[in-house]
Amino acid sequence: MHDFEYHQGELYCEQVPISRVAKEVGTPCYIYSHSTLIRHFRAYDSAFKNIPHVIAFAMKSNSNLAILSLMAKEGSGVDIVSGGELFRALRSGVPASKIVFAGVGKTADEIREALKADILMFNIESSAELKAIQEVAASVGKKARVALRINPDIDPKTHPYISTGMKKSKFGIAADRAVEEFTLASSMSHIDVAGVHAHIGSQLTEVAPFIAALKKVVTLIETLKAQGINIRYLNIGGGLGITYSDEKPPLPQDLSDALLPLVKDLGLTLVMEPGRVIVGNAGILVTKALYLKEGEAKSFVIVDAAMNDLIRPSLYGAYHEIKPVNEEAGHRAKQQVDIVGPVCESGDFLAKDRLLAAVKPGELMAVMSAGAYGFVMASNYNSRPRVPEVLVKGGDIHVIRERETYEDLVKGETIPAFLK
């Protein structure tokens, strides 16, 4: 569900015509719907109302300060993966007591910053990292709350790049070595073993892999309890999929209905790290058609957005629905085209072999479901300034990130004196 609908022949975000935003900030631009964000967060939160829980929004999916502030206001925490994300989270008013820190390569500096902020816990990805956290915690005289991330060896049946819970993955600690690692962790002077973590992948469209992973984790928790290791938190990660084209992923309530019977009697606080399911369908990328090009074998629509603005199609072969902003344009004869950007790479496309109503140069198009892993993955490749982000609330337009300038492009660069 989202709030990008046609009214009077034109695509709107809530009560604002997309063309008005385009006029105000130019194209390309990202547009997010406030009401959609709120609805998605609340749907997730209320699905788990019958169990103590913390929602730690996976901010790698969208880390704009305004989006994070909105989440914090709703009572969300965040899942961070770097010192930079910690900085953004604190700047946005996310309470440290709701911040969890994941990622396989935390540096000593990042660990120190997180300890200083007194975050809820670290999600530990390896025994080497466990030792590093023990050392840093000892050096600053603090005890680090941790959850060990278990790799349950479950195939989440998603794209290999976003599958994280299988044996060959770089993430987590192998399930059969878990008890050993937990025992080691609980013997460490500056480690407080608070939880178990498992995140098996992203864009999951079935409940079954979540259940399979959870069953393994619950068995582990029971074993640990029997050994006197008192687990208080169970972190089930994120990963719930969204509809990009015709997927029918479970709703947060379906997930809750399936998972709660397995965990409700364990006396644990549930931690969840949804990202995509909150922001994915709450955002679009708006682009303008520049040229039509009839190639020998293919037809191209060349648009002003490119892989540096939205890399998911190039990186994962991801599908994003593309809609004309002018509804009438959608009724024209359909044509098979590639939608490509101006970047000098053959991999620069937003859609391939797409049957699309004919567009005319100058017309606006909306790349749907672009709120997650969209702007955050943007780069300046080809010296393209990164595009603005806009939050629409009701009838109001809020620019939450300005378009970068050419000066921004060269910020921090210097020409040494010998070259002058």
Ligand X SMILES: *Cc1c(COP(=O)(O)O)cnc(C)c1O
Chain positions contacting ligand X, by CB under 6 A? 58, 60-61, 79, 102, 199, 202, 237-240, 273-277, 372
Cα distances from 78 to residues 3, 111, 165, in angstroms, run 24, 16, 21
Q: Is 344 a catalytic residue?
A: yes
Q: How far is the CB of 57 from ligand X (least distance, A)?
A: 9
Q: How far is the CB of 238 from ligand X (least distance, A)?
A: 3
Q: How far is the CB of 372 from ligand X (least distance, A)?
A: 6
Distance CA 320, CA 308 (A): 15
Give the phi and the psi of residue 75 in degrees, each rounded to 5. 100, 10
Cα distances from 124 to residues 134, 144, 171, 198, 212, in angstroms, run 11, 11, 9, 11, 21
Catalytic residue among 344, 355, 417, 419, which? 344
Q: Which is nearer to ligand X, 199 or 323 (CB)?
A: 199
Least Cα distance to 120 among 59, 206, 194, 17 occurs for 194
Q: How far is the CB of 18 from ligand X (least distance, A)?
A: 25
Q: How far is the CB of 95 from ligand X (least distance, A)?
A: 19
Task: Please identify which residue in the block is written with the tokens 């049957």.
Answer: 355
Spatial strand order in the sheet of 16-17: 4-7, 10-13, 16-17
Q: Which is nearer to ligand X, 58 or 191 (CB)?
A: 58
Distance CA 341, CA 309 (A): 9
Q: Which is nearer to ligand X, 16 or 86 (CB)?
A: 86
Q: Which is nearer to ligand X, 27 or 64 (CB)?
A: 64
Cβ distance 284 to 4 under 8 Å? yes
Distance CA 134, CA 144 (A): 7
Q: Which is nearer to ligand X, 111 or 329 (CB)?
A: 111
List, by residue number, the catalytic residues. 344
